[in-house]
Structure 1
Amino acid sequence: MGIARLALAGLGVLALVALIVVGVLSLIGALGSDPAGPRSAASPVPTAAASSTGPERVPTVLIECLRENCPTVFLKITGGDVILDREMAKGEQVQSFDPKVDVVLADSAAVRVLVNGDVREPGEAGERQEFTVSRED
Protein backbone atom coordinates (compact mmCIF):
# COMPACT_ATOMS: atom_id res chain seq x y z
CA MET A 1 0.00 0.00 0.00
CA GLY A 2 3.01 2.34 0.53
CA ILE A 3 3.92 2.37 -3.18
CA ALA A 4 0.35 3.21 -4.19
CA ARG A 5 0.35 6.26 -1.91
CA LEU A 6 3.67 7.45 -3.37
CA ALA A 7 2.36 6.99 -6.91
CA LEU A 8 -0.82 8.90 -6.06
CA ALA A 9 1.19 11.72 -4.44
CA GLY A 10 3.47 11.83 -7.50
CA LEU A 11 0.46 12.10 -9.83
CA GLY A 12 -0.94 14.93 -7.72
CA VAL A 13 2.36 16.83 -7.91
CA LEU A 14 2.53 16.32 -11.69
CA ALA A 15 -1.03 17.57 -12.10
CA LEU A 16 -0.26 20.67 -10.01
CA VAL A 17 2.89 21.43 -12.04
CA ALA A 18 0.94 21.01 -15.28
CA LEU A 19 -1.73 23.46 -14.10
CA ILE A 20 0.90 26.01 -13.12
CA VAL A 21 2.64 25.72 -16.52
CA VAL A 22 -0.65 26.13 -18.41
CA GLY A 23 -1.55 29.16 -16.28
CA VAL A 24 1.82 30.83 -16.83
CA LEU A 25 1.67 30.22 -20.60
CA SER A 26 -1.86 31.64 -20.75
CA LEU A 27 -0.81 34.73 -18.80
CA ILE A 28 2.19 35.31 -21.05
CA GLY A 29 0.00 34.93 -24.13
CA ALA A 30 -2.59 37.36 -22.77
CA LEU A 31 -0.03 40.01 -21.84
CA GLY A 32 1.91 39.74 -25.08
CA SER A 33 -0.95 40.11 -27.56
CA ASP A 34 -3.05 43.10 -28.64
CA PRO A 35 -6.42 43.25 -26.92
CA ALA A 36 -9.26 41.92 -29.05
CA GLY A 37 -11.88 43.49 -26.82
CA PRO A 38 -13.32 47.01 -26.93
CA ARG A 39 -11.24 49.65 -28.66
CA SER A 40 -9.41 52.18 -26.55
CA ALA A 41 -10.39 55.73 -27.36
CA ALA A 42 -7.29 57.35 -25.85
CA SER A 43 -6.14 58.14 -29.35
CA PRO A 44 -8.11 58.48 -32.55
CA VAL A 45 -9.71 55.16 -33.43
CA PRO A 46 -10.53 54.59 -37.07
CA THR A 47 -12.94 51.78 -37.84
CA ALA A 48 -11.60 51.55 -41.36
CA ALA A 49 -8.00 52.12 -42.42
CA ALA A 50 -7.23 55.34 -44.25
CA SER A 51 -5.32 55.04 -47.49
CA SER A 52 -1.74 56.28 -47.21
CA THR A 53 -1.49 57.04 -50.93
CA GLY A 54 -4.71 59.01 -51.40
CA PRO A 55 -5.92 62.23 -49.81
CA GLU A 56 -6.46 62.21 -46.06
CA ARG A 57 -9.90 60.86 -45.21
CA VAL A 58 -12.23 62.87 -43.02
CA PRO A 59 -14.02 60.79 -40.38
CA THR A 60 -17.79 60.54 -40.49
CA VAL A 61 -17.80 61.59 -36.84
CA LEU A 62 -15.06 62.68 -34.43
CA ILE A 63 -15.76 63.37 -30.77
CA GLU A 64 -13.27 65.01 -28.40
CA CYS A 65 -13.75 65.44 -24.66
CA LEU A 66 -13.25 69.08 -23.59
CA ARG A 67 -13.71 68.71 -19.82
CA GLU A 68 -11.88 66.71 -17.16
CA ASN A 69 -14.58 64.07 -17.37
CA CYS A 70 -17.21 63.75 -20.10
CA PRO A 71 -20.28 61.71 -19.12
CA THR A 72 -21.17 58.66 -21.16
CA VAL A 73 -20.48 58.91 -24.87
CA PHE A 74 -22.12 56.21 -27.00
CA LEU A 75 -21.18 55.53 -30.64
CA LYS A 76 -22.61 52.64 -32.62
CA ILE A 77 -22.41 51.70 -36.26
CA THR A 78 -26.04 51.85 -37.40
CA GLY A 79 -27.22 48.25 -37.48
CA GLY A 80 -23.83 47.02 -36.29
CA ASP A 81 -21.18 47.05 -33.57
CA VAL A 82 -20.82 49.43 -30.63
CA ILE A 83 -17.70 51.57 -31.05
CA LEU A 84 -17.73 53.25 -27.64
CA ASP A 85 -20.00 53.24 -24.58
CA ARG A 86 -18.27 54.89 -21.62
CA GLU A 87 -17.06 58.12 -20.05
CA MET A 88 -14.15 59.95 -21.67
CA ALA A 89 -11.26 61.94 -20.16
CA LYS A 90 -10.10 65.42 -21.22
CA GLY A 91 -8.40 65.40 -24.62
CA GLU A 92 -9.52 61.87 -25.42
CA GLN A 93 -10.92 61.37 -28.93
CA VAL A 94 -12.93 58.75 -30.75
CA GLN A 95 -13.72 58.69 -34.46
CA SER A 96 -15.42 56.54 -37.04
CA PHE A 97 -15.17 56.33 -40.81
CA ASP A 98 -18.26 54.11 -41.11
CA PRO A 99 -21.04 55.23 -43.49
CA LYS A 100 -23.67 55.71 -40.78
CA VAL A 101 -23.10 56.13 -37.02
CA ASP A 102 -25.58 56.56 -34.15
CA VAL A 103 -24.38 58.97 -31.45
CA VAL A 104 -25.70 59.56 -27.91
CA LEU A 105 -24.10 62.23 -25.72
CA ALA A 106 -25.06 62.44 -22.04
CA ASP A 107 -23.74 66.04 -21.88
CA SER A 108 -23.45 67.55 -25.35
CA ALA A 109 -21.68 70.69 -24.03
CA ALA A 110 -18.78 68.61 -22.64
CA VAL A 111 -17.57 67.42 -26.05
CA ARG A 112 -16.60 68.82 -29.43
CA VAL A 113 -18.29 66.97 -32.30
CA LEU A 114 -17.13 67.08 -35.91
CA VAL A 115 -19.49 65.62 -38.49
CA ASN A 116 -17.78 65.06 -41.86
CA GLY A 117 -15.16 67.63 -40.79
CA ASP A 118 -17.69 70.31 -39.81
CA VAL A 119 -18.16 71.37 -36.17
CA ARG A 120 -21.60 70.52 -34.77
CA GLU A 121 -23.08 73.14 -32.45
CA PRO A 122 -22.90 72.01 -28.80
CA GLY A 123 -26.05 71.83 -26.72
CA GLU A 124 -26.70 73.36 -23.33
CA ALA A 125 -24.71 72.14 -20.31
CA GLY A 126 -26.12 68.78 -19.20
CA GLU A 127 -28.27 68.41 -22.34
CA ARG A 128 -28.56 64.87 -23.68
CA GLN A 129 -28.43 64.56 -27.48
CA GLU A 130 -29.13 61.61 -29.76
CA PHE A 131 -28.47 61.79 -33.49
CA THR A 132 -27.31 59.79 -36.50
CA VAL A 133 -24.55 60.95 -38.83
CA SER A 134 -24.05 59.78 -42.40
CA ARG A 135 -20.93 59.83 -44.52
CA GLU A 136 -20.65 62.42 -47.27
CA ASP A 137 -19.21 60.92 -50.43
Structure 2
Amino acid sequence: MRLAIGDVVRDRRERVIGTVVGIDPEGYGSLVALRVSTGTTHLAYSDDLEMLARNNGPTGLGRRVLAVVLFVLAALTAFAASHTVHSLGGNWALMIFSALGAYTAFDVAFRGVQRLTGPRRIRV
Protein backbone atom coordinates (compact mmCIF):
# COMPACT_ATOMS: atom_id res chain seq x y z
CA MET A 1 0.00 0.00 0.00
CA ARG A 2 1.22 3.50 -0.78
CA LEU A 3 0.46 6.24 1.72
CA ALA A 4 1.02 9.99 1.81
CA ILE A 5 0.72 12.41 4.69
CA GLY A 6 -2.95 13.35 5.03
CA ASP A 7 -4.48 10.14 3.67
CA VAL A 8 -7.46 8.85 5.66
CA VAL A 9 -7.11 5.22 6.78
CA ARG A 10 -8.89 2.79 9.11
CA ASP A 11 -7.16 0.46 11.56
CA ARG A 12 -9.05 -2.84 11.15
CA ARG A 13 -7.75 -4.31 14.40
CA GLU A 14 -8.77 -1.49 16.75
CA ARG A 15 -11.46 0.10 14.54
CA VAL A 16 -9.90 3.55 14.55
CA ILE A 17 -10.16 6.07 11.70
CA GLY A 18 -7.49 8.72 11.34
CA THR A 19 -5.24 10.68 9.01
CA VAL A 20 -1.65 9.64 8.37
CA VAL A 21 0.85 11.96 10.06
CA GLY A 22 4.02 9.86 9.87
CA ILE A 23 5.65 6.50 9.21
CA ASP A 24 8.16 4.67 11.42
CA PRO A 25 9.92 1.66 9.84
CA GLU A 26 10.26 -1.35 12.13
CA GLY A 27 11.28 -5.02 11.80
CA TYR A 28 7.82 -6.64 11.45
CA GLY A 29 6.32 -3.98 9.21
CA SER A 30 5.95 -0.26 9.15
CA LEU A 31 4.32 1.55 12.01
CA VAL A 32 2.08 4.33 10.80
CA ALA A 33 1.18 7.25 13.04
CA LEU A 34 -2.46 8.33 12.75
CA ARG A 35 -4.08 11.52 14.05
CA VAL A 36 -7.51 10.54 15.39
CA SER A 37 -10.52 12.74 16.08
CA THR A 38 -9.64 13.22 19.76
CA GLY A 39 -6.39 14.94 18.73
CA THR A 40 -4.16 12.11 19.94
CA THR A 41 -1.75 10.00 17.92
CA HIS A 42 -2.47 6.32 17.33
CA LEU A 43 0.17 3.87 16.07
CA ALA A 44 -0.87 1.02 13.79
CA TYR A 45 0.92 -1.56 11.66
CA SER A 46 0.62 -1.05 7.92
CA ASP A 47 -0.82 -4.54 7.47
CA ASP A 48 -3.83 -3.60 9.62
CA LEU A 49 -4.70 -0.46 7.66
CA GLU A 50 -7.40 0.01 5.09
CA MET A 51 -7.40 3.00 2.73
CA LEU A 52 -10.51 5.18 2.92
CA ALA A 53 -9.58 8.40 1.09
CA ARG A 54 -6.58 9.95 -0.61
CA ASN A 55 -5.32 13.39 0.32
CA ASN A 56 -5.73 15.65 -2.67
CA GLY A 57 -4.76 19.14 -1.68
CA PRO A 58 -6.28 22.19 -3.32
CA THR A 59 -5.21 22.75 -6.89
CA GLY A 60 -2.83 25.67 -7.28
CA LEU A 61 -3.22 28.46 -9.80
CA GLY A 62 -0.34 27.19 -11.94
CA ARG A 63 -1.83 23.73 -12.30
CA ARG A 64 -5.26 25.14 -13.17
CA VAL A 65 -3.77 27.40 -15.85
CA LEU A 66 -1.76 24.49 -17.24
CA ALA A 67 -4.91 22.35 -17.36
CA VAL A 68 -6.85 25.00 -19.30
CA VAL A 69 -3.98 25.66 -21.73
CA LEU A 70 -3.46 21.95 -22.39
CA PHE A 71 -7.20 21.42 -22.87
CA VAL A 72 -7.35 24.20 -25.46
CA LEU A 73 -4.26 22.83 -27.23
CA ALA A 74 -5.73 19.32 -27.17
CA ALA A 75 -9.04 20.52 -28.60
CA LEU A 76 -7.29 22.49 -31.36
CA THR A 77 -5.04 19.56 -32.20
CA ALA A 78 -8.03 17.19 -32.30
CA PHE A 79 -9.86 19.57 -34.64
CA ALA A 80 -6.79 19.93 -36.86
CA ALA A 81 -6.33 16.15 -37.05
CA SER A 82 -9.98 15.59 -37.87
CA HIS A 83 -10.01 18.37 -40.48
CA THR A 84 -6.84 17.01 -42.11
CA VAL A 85 -8.30 13.51 -42.38
CA HIS A 86 -11.52 14.96 -43.83
CA SER A 87 -9.62 17.01 -46.42
CA LEU A 88 -7.62 13.93 -47.43
CA GLY A 89 -10.88 12.04 -48.09
CA GLY A 90 -11.11 9.92 -44.95
CA ASN A 91 -14.46 8.63 -43.69
CA TRP A 92 -16.15 9.70 -40.46
CA ALA A 93 -14.75 6.82 -38.38
CA LEU A 94 -11.17 7.73 -39.29
CA MET A 95 -11.90 11.38 -38.48
CA ILE A 96 -13.22 10.47 -35.02
CA PHE A 97 -10.32 8.16 -34.21
CA SER A 98 -7.70 10.66 -35.35
CA ALA A 99 -9.30 13.39 -33.23
CA LEU A 100 -9.51 11.04 -30.26
CA GLY A 101 -5.88 10.02 -30.66
CA ALA A 102 -4.69 13.63 -30.83
CA TYR A 103 -6.66 14.55 -27.72
CA THR A 104 -5.46 11.45 -25.85
CA ALA A 105 -1.81 12.37 -26.48
CA PHE A 106 -2.27 15.62 -24.55
CA ASP A 107 -4.35 13.94 -21.86
CA VAL A 108 -1.69 11.28 -21.20
CA ALA A 109 1.01 13.96 -21.02
CA PHE A 110 -1.02 16.02 -18.52
CA ARG A 111 -1.72 13.00 -16.30
CA GLY A 112 1.98 12.14 -16.35
CA VAL A 113 2.87 15.63 -15.18
CA GLN A 114 0.25 15.39 -12.44
CA ARG A 115 1.70 12.08 -11.25
CA LEU A 116 5.25 13.45 -11.18
CA THR A 117 4.33 16.64 -9.34
CA GLY A 118 1.65 15.20 -7.03
CA PRO A 119 2.08 14.27 -3.37
CA ARG A 120 4.77 11.71 -2.54
CA ARG A 121 3.46 8.24 -1.81
CA ILE A 122 5.47 5.94 0.43
CA ARG A 123 5.18 2.16 0.20
CA VAL A 124 4.40 0.69 3.63
Q: If you compute each CA radius of gyration, which structure gives the higher value, 1 or 2?
A: 1
Q: Please confirm whether the aligned pair reaches a TM-score higher than 0.5, indicating the same fold.
A: no
Instruction: Quickly name the TM-score band, shorter chain normalised.
Output: under 0.3
Higher strand share: 1
Q: How high is the TM-score relative to the length of structure 2?
A: 0.25
Q: How high is the TM-score relative to the length of structure 1?
A: 0.23
Higher helix share: 2
